[in-house]
C-alpha cells in the first residue's frame, strides 16, 4: 500500500475495456479534477463485481476505451475548491454511483440510485476505480469516510472488508429489505419477519428464497439471516456446487438448480411457494424461476442487471397478485443502515476478500472470475 500523501505522478496503470473478453492493463494519464466539487483518490483497494461480467461477456453492449471498476476505497490526494467535507488524507469508501446528496427529488427521498446527476463508475459515462487514481465528482455527497468497524480489526483488513460496502453488501441488504417489505399477511398465525417467532406448524413459517449465490447473493443471504426471525426458512438456489456450499455455511438451505427447486419449496409450503424472493442473477430464466417460486401475494426483489425481455406476461402477474421491485441499489442513501448489519455479519463473509491480487494480474483475474473459479477478486493497488 502506498503512503497517505504520495507525490502524484503524471501517469497511472488502469484496467481498460476493449470489447467482450478483452481487457488490458494500460498506462493512462492521472485524471485532472473534473470540477471544483471533485476529488482525486489514490486507490488502495478495488474489486471485480459480477455485474461487470455482463459487459465483459458482451451481454450488455458497451462502448470501449473506459476504465473498469465501480467498487473501491482510497485516500484523498487532491480536492477541488468547492469540496467542504473532505480533505487531503481522508480515507474513504466510494459507492458505485455518484449522487448530489440532497439537491434533487430522488436524493431527498433516499433514492440516490436515481439521482438526476447519477453516473456509474466503470462505464463510458465515468471512468472507474480499477486504476491507481480515480476522479470522483460530487465528492462531498458521494464519498463516505471509512468508518471504524469494530475492535480488533486492523486497519488494512478493515479497508479490504469495506470494499464490499461499495456495492455488493448494500445491494444484498437492499434485496432482503425490499423482499421482506409487505411480503406477509397480518392475520394471527402468519409469522411476519419483524415479529417474534411463531409456535405454529412449519408450513406457516415465513419462507424466503435467494435465486443466485454469487457474491451479491451470498451477501443477501447473510443480511436475510440477520433480518429474519429465527424460525424463518431461507432457501438458496444456484447451479454451482461451491456456491451452494457457501450458502449453506451462511445458514441457507441449498437447492441445486437442476433438482426442481420450485417443487421442493412448494412441497414445504402446502403448495403456496415462498413468501419473499430475492432475484440476484439478472437473467430472464432466473426471474422466471423467482416468479414460479413466489406464492400469490408474495414479493420479488430483483437487483440483478437485466438485459433480456421480462419472461412474465401481465396476465400471469395479475393472476398471482405479486409485487415485483426492480432496480439499482441506492448505496449512498442506505449506507449507514447497511453498515449496521454488515458489522454484525462481516466475519462470515471473509471468503469474499480472500483472493487479493495486483492490478498487473487483471487479465488472469477476470478470466478466473468469469469461470467461477473464485468467489470475488480484490485488487490491492
Pair (182, 321) in one structural domain: yes
pLDDT single digits (tens) 298-349: 999 999 999 899 999 999 999 999 999 999 999 999 999 999 999 999 999 9
Pair (299, 207) in one structural domain: yes
In a domain, 304, yes or no: yes
Domain hosting 359: range is 11-167+330-380
Pair (334, 303) in one structural domain: no
What pLDDT, on a 0 to 100 scale, did the predictor assign at position 150? 83
Pair (174, 313) in one structural domain: yes
Q: Which residues contact 49 (CB under 8 A, 6 or more apart)?
A: 70, 71, 96, 167, 168, 215
Residues in the chain: 381
Q: Catalogue the E-assigned strands of the chain.
A: 11-17, 23-29, 39-48, 72-79, 91-94, 133-136, 144-145, 207-211, 233-238, 253-256, 274-279, 294-302, 323-326, 356-358, 377-380
pLDDT single digits (tens) 204-256: 799 999 999 999 999 999 999 999 999 999 999 999 999 999 999 999 999 99
- The domain that holds 210 is classified in CATH as 3.40.50.720
What pLDDT, on a 0 to 100 scale, did the predictor assign at position 221? 99
What pLDDT, on a 0 to 100 scale, did the predictor assign at position 182? 64
pLDDT single digits (tens) 97-138: 999 998 999 999 999 999 999 999 999 999 999 999 999 999
Predicted confidence (pLDDT) at residue 271 exceeds the cutoff of 70:
yes
SS3 assignment for 159-219:
HHHHHHHHCHHHHHHHHHHHHHCCCCCCCCCCCCCCCCCCCCCHHHCCEEEEECCCHHHHH
Pair (227, 262) in one structural domain: yes
Pair (154, 191) in one structural domain: no
Pair (61, 206) in one structural domain: no
Q: What percent of the chain has pLDDT over 70?
A: 93
Pair (62, 200) in one structural domain: no
Rounded mean pLDDT, 136-142: 98
Pair (69, 155) in one structural domain: yes
Which of 310, 326, 342 finishes a domain?
Answer: 326
Full-model pTM: 0.92
**Number of independent structural domains in the chain:** 2
What pLDDT, on a 0 to 100 scale, did the predictor assign at position 194? 52
Pair (249, 341) in one structural domain: no
- The domain that holds 137 is classified in CATH as 3.90.180.10
What pLDDT, on a 0 to 100 scale, did the predictor assign at position 198? 45
Rounded mean pLDDT, 46-75: 94
Which of 280, 310, 326 finishes a domain?
Answer: 326
The C-alpha cell at 33 is 479534477
In a domain, 1, yes or no: no
First to last CA, the chain: 6
Helix (H) or strand (E) holding 363: helix 362-370
The C-alpha cell at 203 is 408450513
Q: Closest Cα to residue 353, out of 226, 249, 218?
A: 218
Pair (31, 139) in one structural domain: yes
Predicted confidence (pLDDT) at residue 186 exceeds the cutoff of 70:
no
Amino acid at each position: 500500500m502506498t503512503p497517505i500523501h504520495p507525490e502524484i505522478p503524471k501517469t497511472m496503470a488502469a484496467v481498460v475495456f476493449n470489447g467482450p473478453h478483452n481487457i488490458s492493463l494500460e498506462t493512462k494519464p492521472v485524471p485532472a479534477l473534473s470540477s471544483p466539487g471533485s476529488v482525486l483518490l489514490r486507490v488502495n483497494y478495488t474489486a471485480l463485481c459480477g455485474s461487470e461480467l455482463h459487459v465483459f461477456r458482451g451481454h450488455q453492449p458497451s462502448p470501449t476505451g473506459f476504465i473498469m471498476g465501480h467498487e473501491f476505497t482510497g485516500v484523498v490526494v487532491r480536492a477541488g475548491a468547492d469540496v467542504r467535507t473532505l480533505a487531503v488524507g481522508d480515507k474513504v469508501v466510494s459507492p458505485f454511483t455518484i449522487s448530489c446528496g440532497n439537491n434533487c427529488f430522488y436524493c431527498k427521498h433516499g433514492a440516490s440510485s436515481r439521482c438526476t446527476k447519477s453516473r456509474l463508475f466503470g462505464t463510458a459515462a465515468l471512468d472507474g476505480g480499477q486504476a491507481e487514481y480515480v476522479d470522483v465528482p460530487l465528492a462531498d455527497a458521494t464519498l463516505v469516510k471509512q468508518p471504524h468497524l469494530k475492535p480488533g480489526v486492523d486497519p488494512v483488513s478493515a479497508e479490504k472488508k469495506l470494499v464490499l460496502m461499495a456495492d455488493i453488501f448494500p445491494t444484498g441488504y437492499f434485496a432482503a429489505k425490499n423482499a421482506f417489505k409487505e411480503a406477509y399477511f397480518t392475520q394471527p398465525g402468519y409469522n411476519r419477519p419483524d415479529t417474534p417467532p411463531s409456535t405454529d406448524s412449519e408450513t406457516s413459517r415465513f419462507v424466503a428464497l435467494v435465486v443466485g449465490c454469487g457474491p451479491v447473493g451470498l451477501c443477501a443471504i447473510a443480511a436475510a439471516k440477520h433480518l429474519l426471525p429465527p424460525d424463518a426458512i431461507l432457501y438458496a438456489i444456484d447451479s454451482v456446487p461451491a456456491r451452494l456450499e457457501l450458502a449453506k455455511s451462511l445458514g441457507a438451505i441449498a437447492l441445486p438448480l437442476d433438482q426442481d427447486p420450485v417443487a421442493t419449496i412448494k412441497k414445504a409450503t402446502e403448495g403456496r411457494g415462498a413468501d419473499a424472493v430475492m432475484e440476484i442473477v439478472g437473467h430472464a430464466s432466473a426471474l422466471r424461476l423467482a416468479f414460479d417460486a413466489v406464492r400469490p401475494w408474495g414479493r420479488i426483489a430483483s437487483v440483478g442487471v437485466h438485459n433480456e425481455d421480462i419472461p412474465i406476461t401481465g396476465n400471469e402477474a395479475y393472476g398471482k397478485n405479486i409485487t415485483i421491485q426492480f432496480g439499482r441499489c441506492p448505496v449512498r442513501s442506505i449506507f449507514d443502515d447497511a453498515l449496521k448489519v454488515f458489522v454484525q455479519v462481516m466475519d462470515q463473509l471473509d471468503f469474499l476478500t480472500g483472493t487479493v491480487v495486483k492490478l498487473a494480474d487483471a487479465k488472469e483475474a477476470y478470466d478466473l472470475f468469469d469461470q467461477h473459479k473464485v468467489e470475488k477478486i480484490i485488487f490491492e493497488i
